[in-house]
């Protein structure tokens, strides 16, 4: 009887007991995907790939992860792998991307054409792209964790799945020509290629995968560019290693799109418009390619660990400090100038709302306790919680100026009106009943409360989450605040306060607007807490 355990995992069927890369087994010391990746890298460590001398090449650095779907294993997303075992971007895919970016009057020359049923080759040969060896020393096991139904709607499955992708690889792409070309012609060819890769390579490009660092950012076809800084808890890979994951921006923007559209139209229409914008699955009709995608460049990023030392077992929690990042929201399709202009207005409100309500990534519903509640974290006896995000120059004009708390009421009304306008612009019907989701942003389903905090240590609500807001009354671990495995119904934010003076100059203050966004349930604790907010004892005022 042959010993099948000696067969490398890469060559086994995706069956229970044989090999299941995509399946995340809770509590397992080592996942199949980790062993799969280790075996692969071990075979390649002493090998290298080089293009022939006559091949013209250019190197490009990916901003985050790069992934292609080989289609070789059922239900598994893993790279295309060449005959010698190296991951690569196929020449055929390279030619297709080049052709789409190539001016129509040059396509026949460079890529070939068909006439009278016969194929005529172009002068260029595309040899694909190969990464340098650094990819082998980075974490290959990637995690996909869909959470939309869980975060926005009324629950649902939010299981994590594994895929294999390359982390920040540097790829060399190769092209040859059948006839000699001048330096000017080669420069034109590489400019066309850079226009092709500006839209991303591989799969899941709209979520930030497969994006390349380019000197000329105008090649990105960006509808909106936003400069940000942020700090908070980083995501964890299955080996507990921290990673700053660019796909969190699309997840947040898509979730907020659903929340806001669900407040002005029915659930089906809100989902249809969201899919039109951001893509998604449409049941039997397959995938919908969205109009929008994101590219994030973490220009100045530091990763570290926060050591949590409970009595039983100390452990590290990965954290990030992003001092400067640049988020581009891209147009992924050829759309009219008029629609582009309308999308820009829509996206500006969406970004402002996103940083108004909370932050991005893990623990985005809570404020960064290191910044606003340092006593809680003293001596590492409590776990790290929360995040804090701000616009930075040259994007500080996106801050909402708050001379009076009522300015935020005006802002939320303008967001609500903007969503109505977007629905009608897309020739869909408004519905004041909205969607019946937990976090639909409509009147009657959400309350926004605010107060002015004098400085970063003047948070009143932070104590609500960790103690009593009145004698013998608390919302800690209630349906309102949530707990492990259950999404709460309250979002806490410390929003930096900026004031517009009479001469229209912006004054930056040390104050914050402390915000509570609540999606009330009918529990007694929630009713009592809202009664407290409405009382004279509380400093909070209802803004929406």
pLDDT for the residue 159? 64
Which residues contact residue 181 at a Cβ distance below 8 angstroms, ignoring those fewer than 6 apart?
A: 123, 189
- Tally the C-alpha atoms within 13 A of residue 393's C-alpha that lie toward its C-beta: 1
CA dihedral 391, 395, 397, 403 (to 10 degrees): 10
One-letter-per-residue 3-state SS of 377-393: HHHHCCCCCCEEEEECC
In the predicted structure, residue 14 carries a pLDDT above the cut 90? no
Higher pLDDT, 89 or 47: 89
pLDDT digits (tens, 9 = 90+) for 181-209: 999 999 999 999 998 888 888 888 887 88
The per-residue pLDDT for range 342-355, each reduced to its tens digit, is 999 999 999 999 99
The percent of residues in the chain predicted with pLDDT above 90, rounded, is: 54
CB atoms inside a 10 Å sphere around CB 443: 12
Q: Where residue 495 falls among pLDDT bands split at 50, 70, 90?
A: very high
More confident residue, 143 or 181: 181
Please report how the helices 91-101 and 104-111 are oriented relative to each other, as an axis angle in degrees rounded to 10: 150
- Euclidean distance between CA atoms 190 and 188, whole angstroms: 6
**Residue 308: predicted pLDDT:** 86
- In angstroms, rounded to a whole number, what is the distance separating the alpha carbons of residues 410 and 416? 10
Is the predicted pLDDT of residue 165 greater than 70, yes or no?
yes
Q: What's the whole-number mean pLDDT along residues 299-326?
A: 89
Question: Which strand ranges, in their side-by-side order, compose the sheet holding 292-308?
Answer: 292-308, 315-331, 222-233, 387-391
Nearest C-alpha neighbor of 206 from the set 274, 139, 272, 154: 274
pLDDT at 16: 78
User: Taking 70 as the threshold, does the pLDDT of residue 154 lie above it?
Assistant: no
Confidence of residue 174 (pLDDT cuts 50, 70, 90): very high
**What pLDDT is recorded for position 341?**
93
User: Given this model, what pLDDT does residue 544 score?
Assistant: 92
pLDDT confidence band for 373 (50 / 70 / 90): very high
Beta carbons within 10 angstroms of residue 209's beta carbon:
25
Handedness of CA 424, 426, 429, 432 (dihedral sign): negative
CA gap 79, 66 in Å, rounded: 9
Q: What is the pLDDT of residue 391?
A: 97
Q: Break the chain into its structural domains and give their ranges.
A: 4-206, 224-542
- How high is the mean pLDDT of the chain? 88
* pLDDT tens-digit series, residues 354-365: 999 999 999 999
Distances (CA, A) of 406 to 47, 61, 495: 65, 46, 15
Residue 1: pLDDT band (50, 70, 90) is: very low
pLDDT for 431 equals 92
Cα separation, 63 vs 367, in Å, equals 28
């Amino acid at each position: 009887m042959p010993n099948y355990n000696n067969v490398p995992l890469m060559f086994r069927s995706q069956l229970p007991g044989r090999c299941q890369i995509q399946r995340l087994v809770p509590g397992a010391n080592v996942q199949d995907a980790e062993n799969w990746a280790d075996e692969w890298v071990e075979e390649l460590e002493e090998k290298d790939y080089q293009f022939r001398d006559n091949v013209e090449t250019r190197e490009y650095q990916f901003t985050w992860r790069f992934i292609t779907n080989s289609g070789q294993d059922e239900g598994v997303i893993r790279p295309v792998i060449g005959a010698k075992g190296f991951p690569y971007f196929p020449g055929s895919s390279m030619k297709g991307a080049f052709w789409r970016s190539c001016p129509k009057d040059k396509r026949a020359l460079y890529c070939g054409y068909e006439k009278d049923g016969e194929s005529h080759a172009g002068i260029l040969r595309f040899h694909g792209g190969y990464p340098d060896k650094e990819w082998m020393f980075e974490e290959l096991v990637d995690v996909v964790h869909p959470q939309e139904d869980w975060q926005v709607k009324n629950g649902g499955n939010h299981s994590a799945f594994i895929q294999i992708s390359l982390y920040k690889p540097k790829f060399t792409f190769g092209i040859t020509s059948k006839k000699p070309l001048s330096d000017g012609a080669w420069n034109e060819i590489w400019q066309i290629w850079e226009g092709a890769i500006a839209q991303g390579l591989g799969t899941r490009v709209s979520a930030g995968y497969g994006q390349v660092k380019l000197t000329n950012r105008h090649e990105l076809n960006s509808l909106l560019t936003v400069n940000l800084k942020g700090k908070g808890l980083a995501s964890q890979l299955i080996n507990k290693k921290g990673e700053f994951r660019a796909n969190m921006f699309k997840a947040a923007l898509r979730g907020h799109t659903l929340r806001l559209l669900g407040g002005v139209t029915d659930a089906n229409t809100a989902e249809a418009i969201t899919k039109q914008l951001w893509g998604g699955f449409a049941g039997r009709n397959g995938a919908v390619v969205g109009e929008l995608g994101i590219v994030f460049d973490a220009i100045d990023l530091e990763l570290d660990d926060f050591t949590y030392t409970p009595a039983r077992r100390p452990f590290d929690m990965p954290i990030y400090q992003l001092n400067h990042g640049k988020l581009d929201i891209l147009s992924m399709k050829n759309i009219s100038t008029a629609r582009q202009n309308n999308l820009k207005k829509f996206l500006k409100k969406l970004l402002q709302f996103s940083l108004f309500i909370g932050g991005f990534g893990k623990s985005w519903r809570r404020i960064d306790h290191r910044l606003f509640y340092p006593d809680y974290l003293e001596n590492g006896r409590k776990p790290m919680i929360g995040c804090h995000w701000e616009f930075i120059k040259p994007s500080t004009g996106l801050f909402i100026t708050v001379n009076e708390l009522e300015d935020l009421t005006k802002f939320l009304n303008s967001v609500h009106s903007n969503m109505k306008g977007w629905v009608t612009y897309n020739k869909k019907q408004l519905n004041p009943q909205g969607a019946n989701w937990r976090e639909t942003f409509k009147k009657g389903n959400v309350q926004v409360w605010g107060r002015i905090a004098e400085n970063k240590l003047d948070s009143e609500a932070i104590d609500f989450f960790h103690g009593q807001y009145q004698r013998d009354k608390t919302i800690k671990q209630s349906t309102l605040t949530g707990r492990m495995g259950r999404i709460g119904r309250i979002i806490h934010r410390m929003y930096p306060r900026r004031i517009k003076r009479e001469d229209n100059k912006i004054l930056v203050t040390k104050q914050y607007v402390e915000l509570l966004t609540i999606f009330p349930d009918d529990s007694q604790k929630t009713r009592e807490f809202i009664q407290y907010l409405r009382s004279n004892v509380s400093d909070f005022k209802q803004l929406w």
